[in-house]
Amino acid sequence: MEQIPAHVAIILDGNGRWAKERKKPRSFGHLAGARTMLQILEDADELGIRYLTVYAFSTENWNRPKAEVTALMKILRKELTDAVERSMKNNVRCRVIGDRSGLDADIREAIANLETATKDNTGLQFTIAINYGSRDEMTRAVRRIAKDVQSGALAEEAIDEACVSSYLDTRDLPDPDLLIRTCNELRISNFLLWQSAYTEFYFTEKAWPDFDRAELEKAVLSYAGRDRRYGGIREAK
Give the footprint of ligand IPE on residues 180-209 (CB under 6 A): 183, 185, 187, 189, 208
Q: Taking the complex as a whole, how short is the minimal distance between the CB of residue 75 and ligand IPE, in angstroms?
A: 9
Our CB check for ligand IPE shows the closer of 57 and 167 to be 57
16 binds ligand IPE (CB under 6 A): yes
Residues forming the active site: 13, 61
| 85 vs 94: CA distance, rounded Å | 12
* 12 touches, from ligand IPE, Mg ion, none (C-beta below 5 to 8 Å by class): ligand IPE
E strands, the chain, in order: 7-11, 51-58, 93-97, 125-132, 178-181, 200-203
State yes or no: residue 12 binds Mg ion (CB under 5 A). no
- 95 forms bridges with which residues in the sheet? 127
Q: Which stretch binds ligand IPE (CB under 6 A): 12-20, 101-109, 142-150, 164-172?
A: 12-20
Residue 72 vs 179, nearer CB to ligand IPE: 72
Smallest separation, CB 132 to Mg ion (Å): 15
**Interactions with ligand IPE, residue window 80-109 (CB under 6 A):** none
